[in-house]
A = this chain, B = another copy of it.
Amino acid sequence: MKVVCLSGGGGGAKIARGLHDALAPGELTVIGNVGDDLEVLGLNVSPDLDSVLYALAGLDDEERGWGRAGETWRTLESAREWGGEGWFLLGDLDLGLHLVRTQALGEGAPLSAVTQRLAETAGVSSRIVPVTDDRLRTHVVTPAGTFRFQEWFVARRHEDEVDAMVYEGAEGARPAPGVLEALEDADAIVVAPSNPYTSIHPILAVAGIRDALHARSGRVVAVSPLIGGRAVKGPLDRMLTRMAGGTTPREVAGCYEGLIGALVVDRADASAEADLPLLVTDTLMTDRATARGLAESVLEVLA
């Protein structure tokens, strides 16, 4: 069974790990968001791709929910003391990866090739591929102004209300090698319970992705990131209320109109109504076992 997962960081990395555990080696391809990539301290950082990589390699800090387990912060502290920017938290172990990636990109390797090499180095049998090798940057339009994604999310603690999103570079970005083929060949396509605006829409904004999904919509299922109308983590409920008018499965499904055949929702939302089939299960992923359980439920529906 060939499965593709469209994923951001947090909840995306969790379900990616669940799918990875539920499937046979090589069956899973994760197409990752790069809209929240950034340059910090001169390094190329891909937070969403790395969250997926760390989760699939078993290197992630499950408790903190981001970054690596056993992380330390000596290099960043030193950089700060020398006058470097310190607003974006980069641990020592994490920095080792960023250094290797930045050097490879600087030598001309595409992000997809670098990501594949990193995954292989970590012994990850699933495929992790950035949606595009081209530059794509998410900006957040708020009443206080337009901010780069991480500036809004991290530095401003995503406190500003969001009026709109801008995916800079998306119109000219081409899918990375293998992305469209993976979508065409997939027996099932899972849209992760990531924030649609910040994690999935930038993927969909890349030329050809939306059409490819539309053509396979019968095999595409999205997992709602809301439980009882509330975001498990992050500002999605506030964003949906403001930009879509509500936080029920109907508004979540509306984020993927014409692209998905069904929406997986939590038991807390079992009584909701929507214009497409709702599949009800437990969607809260508290650890690897529950992530695998959710992945298996989703795959059962799709099989």
Q: Is B42 touching A103 in the complex (CB atoms < 8 A)? A: yes
A132 CB to nearest B CB, Å: 22
Q: Which residue of the partner chain B has the closest CB to A97?
A: B82
Number of copies: 2
Interface size on A, residues (CB 8 A): 31
Q: Does A81 contact B (CB under 8 A)?
A: yes
How distant is the Cα of A95 from the Cα of B42 in the complex, in angstroms? 12
Q: Mark A47-89, 1 if CB is under 8 A from B, else 0.
A: 0000000000000000000000000101111111111100000
Q: Does A135 contact B (CB under 8 A)?
A: no
- For the residues of A in contact with B, the DSSP-based class is helix
Q: Does A106 contact B (CB under 8 A)?
A: yes
Q: Is A82 touching B121 in the complex (CB atoms < 8 A)? A: yes
Known: A117-B83, A121-B82, A121-B83. A41 touches B93 (CB 8 A): no
How distant is the Cα of A118 from the Cα of B94 in the complex, in angstroms? 25
Residues of B contacting A84 with CB < 8 Å? Answer: 96, 99-100, 103
B-binding residues in A (CB < 8 A): 41-43, 72, 74-84, 92-97, 99-103, 106, 117-118, 121-122
